[in-house]
Amino acid sequence: QQNGKPHFYEKPIVESFEEAPLHVMVFTYMGYGIGTLFGYLRDFLRNSGIEKCNAAVEREEQKDFVPLYQNFENFYTRNIYMRIRDNWNRPICSAPGPLFDVMERVSDDYNWTFRFTGRIIKDVINMGSYNFLGLAVRYDESMRTVKDVLEEYGVGVASTRHEMGTLNKHKELEDLVAQFLNVEAAMVFGMGFATNSMNIPALVGKGCLILSDELNHASLVLGARLSGATIRIFKHNNMQSLEKLLRDAVIYGQPRTRRAWKKILIMVEGVYSMEGSIVNLPQIVALKKKYKAYLYIDEAHSIGSVGPTGRGVVEFFGMDPQDVDVFMGTFTKSFGASGGYIAGRKDLVDYLRVHSHSAVYATSMSPPIAEQIIRSMKFIMGLDGTTQGLKRVRQLAKNTRYFRQRLNEMGFIIYGNEESPVVPLLLYMPGKVAAFARHLLNRKIGVVVVGFPATPLAEARARFCVSAAHTREMLDTVLEALDEMGDLLHLKYSRNKKSARPELYDETSFELDD
């Protein structure tokens, strides 16, 4: 809200999910098919003793035991992922700012093991970290309060929130989060993943229904499964799919007994981390109100990064925070820290203080981490007496639009909303995934590449995270390299068709699985 009045998002929601040309998909599946055939051949050679097997094997003493895992479950890792494994888990030896340092490593056995060369690749442009507002940086004098808290409180709490682990810093942070989100109360937790997976089971259980977006994060999926509630999936951001599930849930109730569901909980994310899309919040809120359901929104990637003042998708669409029943977010992205929060009505938060598994069993948030979040949030809100936080939010939006527009003009297929700082660039073929990341690192550009099983088999991609700390010169350097890489690897697949994945938005009829 601005000057006490809601800011309404008036522009049409523009999201692109362009489909690849047919020949690209054919070659992608052929690549996986050929890789699978050679995988079987190499497994045969390993089992015959012709080729050395570097993978973990069961000990001879346990040969008559039931195996801990099936050998085929490791087939993909052993024969495809292992060949391109050098593109992941790269060790960083500096703060994850707009530039960072990477420890060089090489492999002498085709990526089964690595050794460090002792060389440091300095000043690599960081296009992979979730450092949206550039607050995860080296120590400077503005972090003096974090150092003071470290000296006063130490590093660890060594207790849970229910016992001796609730500090005045936690209470200060929770009050500030509630003020930032314009809600009644908030509770903070030491781990972002556990904020979802350990709190959802406290909110719903047997006899409840969860309606989950098909692209929800693994923490939401795990929390939903642990809850024991019935889970049904709706197509990503598709209101027709969601409404059909809501209507059927109200009409038919629970299976067999036909009793009404105790609760119906809609679970969505603000910004989807693999697709770069933004939730269609106004329509979801309308459906929630129409069918008397609850809404749980995960703002891990959207809090601090979208909205006129960085307050997430509710502010982005100019909506009332009371329209959302459960706010969840993490401090690991925009705030340069760790942990997460649940926020909303005071009675909800008070209930979680008693029943949350994280509050009962997990160690409390480290005091210096809490202070880092406090100073970051005050910086964004302008409570530090400057407007630098607001300028960072606006700079992030400007950088995001510039980067996406240039990639579109070059002819790449990129997914997501034009306002999303998460920018997936589609690569498709597994061989190109490896070549893309290796070539860019040689040009001192660090990127995250993602493939199956984190994405659909044929939709491997590079995921760029734009930061307010990126200068125009940095972005132009990256864009110039991407332009050359697109020509070298033939990655410019776009035919400039909007939403060529119509099932995400336009389907009107759906069949529920039994």
- pLDDT recorded at residue 215: 94
pLDDT tens digits for range 383-401: 999 999 999 999 999 999 9
Q: How far apart are CA 394 and CA 487, in angstroms?
A: 32
Give yes or no for residue 2 having a pLDDT over 60: no
Q: Are 145 and 375 in contact (CB under 8 A)?
A: yes
Region 338-362: mean pLDDT is 94
Task: Give phi and psi for 509, each to the nearest 5.
Answer: -130, 140
Q: How far are the Cα atoms of 105, 445, 473 from residue 101, in angstroms, in the given order?
A: 13, 11, 19
Q: Are 208 and 229 in contact (CB under 8 A)?
A: yes
- pLDDT recorded at residue 12: 65
Architecture, CATH, for domain 141-381: 3-Layer(aba) Sandwich (3.40)
- pLDDT recorded at residue 508: 42
Q: Which residue has the higher pLDDT, 386 or 512?
A: 386
Give catalytic residues, as residue numbers.
273, 301, 333
Region 131-142: mean pLDDT is 89
pLDDT tens digits for range 289-340: 999 999 999 999 999 999 999 999 999 999 999 999 999 999 999 999 999 9
- pLDDT recorded at residue 10: 58
Q: Please classify residue 111 by burial: count the beta carbons closer than 10 Å to its beta carbon, then call 0-12 exposed, 13-18 middle and 19+ buried.
A: middle
Give yes or no for residue 514 having a pLDDT over 70: no
Q: Return the closest-CA partner of residue 491 out of 501, 499, 481, 476.
A: 481
- pLDDT recorded at residue 43: 87
- pLDDT recorded at residue 109: 87
pLDDT tens digits for range 176-193: 999 999 999 999 999 999
What is the per-residue DSSP string for 38-105? HHHHHHHHHHTTSS---S----GGGTTSPPSS-GGGGHHHHHTGGGGGGGSSPPB-S--SSEEEEEEE
Give yes or no for residue 275 having a pLDDT over 60: yes
Architecture, CATH, for domain 22-126+387-496: Alpha-Beta Complex (3.90)
pTM of the model: 0.90
Tokens in use for 306?
A: 């979208």
- pLDDT recorded at residue 70: 67
Region 108-134: mean pLDDT is 93
User: What percentage of the chain reaches a pLDDT higher than 70?
Assistant: 94
User: What percentage of the chain reaches a pLDDT higher than 90?
Assistant: 78
Residue 3: which residues within 8 A CB-CB, separation 6 or more?
A: none
- pLDDT recorded at residue 467: 96
Q: How far apart are CA 514 and CA 496, in angstroms?
A: 38
Q: Return the closest-CA partner of residue 28 out of 452, 365, 441.
A: 452
Entry field: residues in the chain = 514
Region 71-83: mean pLDDT is 83
Give yes or no for residue 6 having a pLDDT over 60: no
Q: Which residue in the block uniquely carries the two structure tokens 């420890």? A: 103
Q: How far apart are CA 326 and CA 233, in angstroms?
A: 19
* 342 membership: H or E segment, kind and range: strand 340-344
Tokens in use for 413?
A: 């297929």
Q: Return the closest-CA partner of residue 304 out of 421, 417, 187.
A: 421
H helices of 125-216, in order, are 144-153, 168-181, 192-197, 200-203
- Average confidence score pLDDT of the chain: 90
Tokens in use for 278?
A: 């933004």
pLDDT tens digits for range 84-114: 999 999 999 999 999 999 999 999 988 889 9
pLDDT tens digits for range 398-453: 999 999 999 999 999 999 999 999 999 999 998 899 999 999 999 999 999 998 88
Q: How far apart are CA 253 and CA 240, in angstroms?
A: 19
Region 358-370: mean pLDDT is 93
Q: How confident is the model at residue 1 (pLDDT cuts 50, 70, 90)?
A: very low
Q: Return the closest-CA partner of residue 438 out of 494, 474, 488.
A: 488
Q: How confident is the model at residue 77 (pLDDT cuts 50, 70, 90)?
A: confident
Q: How confident is the model at residue 270 (pLDDT cuts 50, 70, 90)?
A: very high
Domain segments of the chain: what residues? 22-126+387-496, 141-381
- pLDDT recorded at residue 11: 58
- pLDDT recorded at residue 500: 36
Give yes or no for residue 282 having a pLDDT over 80: yes
Q: Please classify residue 343 by burial: count the beta carbons closer than 10 Å to its beta carbon, then call 0-12 exposed, 13-18 middle and 19+ buried.
A: buried
Give yes or no for residue 503 having a pLDDT over 50: no
Q: How confident is the model at residue 499 (pLDDT cuts 50, 70, 90)?
A: very low
pLDDT tens digits for range 11-63: 567 788 888 899 999 999 999 999 999 999 998 998 888 888 777 777 778 87
